[in-house]
Amino acid sequence: MESTMKDVAKLAGTSLMTVSRVLDGSKNVAPETRGKIRQAIRKLHYRPHRTAIELRTKRSNLVGVVMADIANPFYPPIVRGIEDVCREHDYNVILCNTDEDTQRENNFIQVLKERYAEAIIICSAKPKIDNQAELFASFRSTVFLNRRPRNVNGDLVISDNLRGAYLAIEYLIGKGHQKIAVINGSQRFSTGRERFQGAKKAMADKGIRLEDKYVKFTNSSIEGGYCAAKELLNLPSLPTAIFSGNNFMTLGLMKAIKEARIKVPDIVSVVGFDETNWSEITNPSLTTIKQPTYEMGVVAAKLIMFRLNNPQSPYVEKKLKPTLIIRDSVKQIVQHQTTITGVLMAN
Amino acid sequence: MESTMKDVAKLAGTSLMTVSRVLDGSKNVAPETRGKIRQAIRKLHYRPHRTAIELRTKRSNLVGVVMADIANPFYPPIVRGIEDVCREHDYNVILCNTDEDTQRENNFIQVLKERYAEAIIICSAKPKIDNQAELFASFRSTVFLNRRPRNVNGDLVISDNLRGAYLAIEYLIGKGHQKIAVINGSQRFSTGRERFQGAKKAMADKGIRLEDKYVKFTNSSIEGGYCAAKELLNLPSLPTAIFSGNNFMTLGLMKAIKEARIKVPDIVSVVGFDETNWSEITNPSLTTIKQPTYEMGVVAAKLIMFRLNNPQSPYVEKKLKPTLIIRDSVKQIVQHQTTITGVLMAN
DNA sequence: CTGAAAGCGCTTACAG
DNA sequence: CTGAAAGCGCTTACAG
């Protein structure tokens, strides 16, 4: 049924070797022979068997992409970027979704090894990579994406989370806000830590105090954002603005705000990290920090291809710039002396 | 570096064959030999090379999953369901995202063939499969998911789209609505057609007229929903309720409603097909038709496994039931005779 | 310009 | 209970 090179050779009246040469695009084949072989290939609907090639050459043209949660709208554009570049280079992508489960992550890495994947792009669910050498030894190229696990030593593609958070807070302060609350995702990951650092730094640079009661840490989920937001909204002295550290937490925040029947931005202004499909349809539409997701994928895949060809080149770190998307969820507030006094007193 | 069965055999002082037997879990190995081999395996960190096994056995334990748009929140839970079942059966999933591009779809099918995937679960971007026999011949099991392309003859897993739409319209009518508008997605796909049929049927069953001006067809995107909604909202006689045929179109609908500053549900009620993360945080929260996505994935994967073991069994069609999730986007309206007259006159 | 032979890492009869 | 040999479908020296 499925034909092989042997069948082609027989039909064309040549040897395996010559068929192989034609397939390779080698010049050293007589035009006549080439013609016969081409015809035989067409007639038999012949397609090379990847598996045999892989076994023989130890090259799979396979890139493993291990993502933490494909249901998070942050990831699909990244995957798309990776795929587009890989296709250009004639590599196939095998996509693995760990759902933030380190067990599943290990499993997938094993599977990718067993299938001879040449390279891996991974957004790890692990805060720390203990055995990078052992775990990733078989890949000729490894790129860590989005998160920088501790102990990692390799190519890295991230967005400038610190700057992203900084932009958000700076914008709020520019709009006259001083009582600013921050909902931070898991500090186990560099993303969470850097965004918190960015928020702190913006406050410090502008000489505004980030009050403890306005700082919440939670896990980066809808539920986490919801709970943190509820605590903030129950405070005797409400913040005038809330910055939320990722799209899921923003969803939770919006839910809590709705339940509390608090008007945005009249009572509380909101800036959310991550641009999403639904940023425009909330009431009011959401001012967000947009990460260059598709580009992150493109850059990661290019890095993979580069290292495949330059195994010895030094590791690089690509840090892409997020941008502020201004919509309607932040109010310009007039700065009364009383407000400032209020803040000081509340402490 | 990477060790092979040969290395294991040498270290254990046995033959390849015996190592293979131990790996297979065969009983016919002397406990002592088995012990030595086990030890050698451990010492060498031996892992079987899938590629070699595949080449020899022609079995890959690989299931290809071809989805139309992984950025659509409808799909990730399906993929999750598929993965969970496949893992149980020791199959790996290779996920392909076509972005509704039939060219990419064909490409992926080729890749899956070349990699000896045994089975494929596909939500095709093609309204019609012209050459099913040729295209899918190499897979021992094929399941079409979500959409039923024309000319397809095989296992099928879909949700009961007709019933879903019926539930939505029936609910609206129960709430006193008569001037009901419907935004339909692409009629090239069974999903779009069946949902429209369901809406029509509900109206007919309740003896309510579905007016042409209230029926919009568009492509199943945010932009499509937005444009269709704008037309509806510009009508001299507004509908009292709008049913939108998928989550993207609902997003567009909500955007148009927002721009037109129309109050939901006071002026217009809304029911959207597809439950999403953001259904709860719109203002007001959205009444939706929830599809059993995770279950669809589970059922599809189980079907795959069944057919792998029962190649001759007749094709089946699994139709899963969607449910109505009631929230705050539909208003109970009192039925004035004038309203009905208005409708008749407007025609 | 062309081909015979070896081998990638396994499994599958077959034989003992 | 154990092993030698053939072969899956290719590519890679090597030879001519």
Residue in B47, B111, B280 closest to A92 by CB = B111
E strand or H helix that includes residue A104:
helix A102-114
Looking at residue B266, what is its pLDDT?
A: 97
Please tell me whether residues A171 and A280 are part of one structural domain.
yes
Measured in angstroms, what separates residue A116's CA from nucleotide D2's C1'? 31
Q: Can you give the pTM of this predicted structure?
A: 0.89
B71 vs A contacts (CB less than 8 Å): 73, 76-77, 80
Distance from CA of B236 to the nearest CA of A (A): 24
CB contact under 8 A, A70 and B79: yes
Chain A: residue whose CA lies nearest to B1: A138
Chain A: residue whose CA lies nearest to B54: A51
Please tell me whether residues B81 and B151 are part of one structural domain.
yes
Please tell me whether residues A341 and A254 are part of one structural domain.
yes
pLDDT digits (tens, 9 = 90+) for A297-320: 999 999 999 999 998 999 999 999
Looking at residue B343, what is its pLDDT?
A: 45
**Protein footprint of strand C, defined by Cβ closer than 7 Å to any strand atom:** A 14-18, 21, 27-30, 32-34, 52, 55-56, 58; B 2, 4-6, 16-17, 20, 23-24, 46-49, 52-53, 55-57
Phi, psi of A218 (to 5 degrees): -155, 180
> Bridge partners of B95?
A95, B65
Nucleotide nearest to B2 (CA to C1'): C9
Please tell me whether residues A198 and A331 are part of one structural domain.
yes
- pLDDT tens, N- to C-terminus, chain A (347 residues): 578 999 999 899 998 889 989 988 878 888 888 898 999 999 998 988 888 998 999 888 899 999 999 999 999 999 999 999 998 998 988 888 999 999 999 989 988 888 889 999 999 999 999 988 888 988 999 999 999 999 998 899 999 999 999 999 999 999 999 999 999 999 999 999 999 999 999 999 999 999 999 999 999 999 999 999 999 999 999 999 999 999 999 999 999 999 999 999 999 999 999 999 999 999 899 999 999 999 999 999 999 999 999 989 999 999 999 999 999 999 999 865 444 444 444 44
pLDDT digits (tens, 9 = 90+) for A186-244: 999 999 999 999 999 999 999 999 999 999 999 999 999 999 999 999 999 999 999 99
Looking at residue A304, what is its pLDDT?
A: 96
Looking at residue B47, what is its pLDDT?
A: 87
* Coil vs helix vs strand at A86: helix
pLDDT digits (tens, 9 = 90+) for B6-61: 999 989 999 888 998 898 887 888 888 889 899 999 999 898 888 899 899 988 88
Looking at residue A111, what is its pLDDT?
A: 86
- Cβ–Cβ contacts within 10 Å for residue B63, how many? 29
Please tell me whether residues A113 and A226 are part of one structural domain.
no
Please tell me whether residues A169 and A256 are part of one structural domain.
yes
Q: For residue B252, what is the domain's CATH number?
A: 3.40.50.2300
Dmax of chain B from CA atoms? 95
- CA dist., res. A202 & res. A217, Å (int): 18
Count how many domains chain A has.
3
Q: For residue B47, what is the domain's CATH number?
A: 1.10.260.40
Distance from CA of B52 to the nearest CA of A (A): 6
Please tell me whether residues B167 and B100 are part of one structural domain.
no
Please tell me whether residues A167 and A277 are part of one structural domain.
yes
Distances (CA, A) of A34 to A12, A47, A143: 9, 16, 41
Distances (CA, A) of B84 to A119, A258, B333: 25, 35, 45
Looking at residue B203, what is its pLDDT?
A: 98
Measured in angstroms, what separates residue A327's CA from nucleotide C13's C1'? 72
Please tell me whether residues B25 and B172 are part of one structural domain.
no
Residue in A97, A251, A283 closest to B277 by CB = A251
Could you give the count of Cα atoms lying within 13 Å of B324 in the half-sphere of its Cβ?
19
* Per-residue flag: A347 CB under 7 A of strand D: no
Please tell me whether residues A68 and A132 are part of one structural domain.
yes
Please tell me whether residues B208 and B329 are part of one structural domain.
yes
Which domain covers residue B38, as residue numbers?
Answer: 5-53
- Altogether, the residues listed in chain B come to a count of 347
Please tell me whether residues B189 and B221 are part of one structural domain.
yes
Which residues from the 27-46 window of protein chain B have CB within 7 angstroms of nucleic acid chain D? Answer: 27-30, 32-34
Which of the residues in chain B have pLDDT under 50? Answer: 337-347
- Cβ–Cβ contacts within 10 Å for residue A17, how many? 9
Average pLDDT along chain A: 92
Distance from CA of A133 to the nearest CA of B (A): 13
Nearest to B245 by CA among B177, B283, B189, B307: B189
- CA dist., res. A89 & res. A87, Å (int): 5
pLDDT digits (tens, 9 = 90+) for B260-272: 999 999 999 999 9
Distance from CA of A82 to the nearest CA of B (A): 12
Looking at residue B335, what is its pLDDT?
A: 63
Looking at residue A336, what is its pLDDT?
A: 56
